[in-house]
A and B are shown apart, each in its own frame.
Chain A
Amino acid sequence: MLVLTRKQGQLINIGEDIKIKIVEIGQNFVRIGIDAPREMPVYREELYEKLKQLNTEASKLDIDKLKDFLEIKNK
């Protein structure tokens, strides 16, 4: 992994289209601003990983589990 040292307010460019700005440095956090094309979704890693896991779970849903729910809804 490439590791760069930056000061508050400084930027990093990734290619032409992606800019990463160190917005604020606190005691145990940094605030980062990201400009990226919309086709590159930017999410906090834990949220994205959670969504991947939930989507995988959802893909395994057996329609039989919804039998009662659908019966009630279609009464």
Chain B
Amino acid sequence: MNVTFLPLAQTALTLSSPMIWGIGLGAAGLALRLAPQVAWRKLGLLASLIGIALIGVALPPLGDLLPQVLFWLMATLAVVASGAAVTSRSPVYAAIWFAVSLLGTAGLFLLQGAHFLGIATIVVYAGAIVVTFLFVLMLAQPEGHSPYDRISWAGFAIPIATMGVALVLGTLIGSLPEFSPVAMPEKILHEAHVARLGNELFAKHLVSVEVVGTILLVALVGAIAIVIQGNPRRKTETREGVTER
């Protein structure tokens, strides 16, 4: 399928759809939220919440009540928390909002029947990666607030970036095709879900598992090498004389 962007955008960005309005309002809200003025930031919060509500109205209903409510809860949590992570000025708050957003994403994974991945997301991301973020923040920015967190690149950076992202996102979401209905997935939603996942992982993707293990090892060695090389060389006195280490 050979589709270029501009004709696709022309067909996708119709002003009659609440989805497009929602994305536009949400993007405008995010842009205002990044502004330095306090009043603008409050307005931005309002606009982005209205935008999220509009997007939610435009989404097709799931059919059952309980998954619908859970989806609403988790999706709102994930999107609102990620917006807050991007716009909060203190990087510590940004990292904590990112962890909250990860909780929402893990809930979405659980709702899809991906139980192992939901737990793995919480354990690996929220448990390890976000904590590493906080450690690095503690090491590198102990004073907390800094002027470069309160300002972006230049005056026009925020509106242009927001408009670009909103255009691309609106085109992509607006041009989603009608998906043909399928039956309930039986392989994924099997009751022995994790056993099936492990079977698939270690039978079909065994080489990939080995490669990922190697990548993790190389990353570990590389991180240690990078950090050690940065330290200034220290002279140590031994019995043989002064040596450089």
Asked if chains A and B come from one complex, the reply is no
- Hey, which bits of chain A sit against chain B, CB under 8 A? none
- Hey, which bits of chain B sit against chain A, CB under 8 A? none
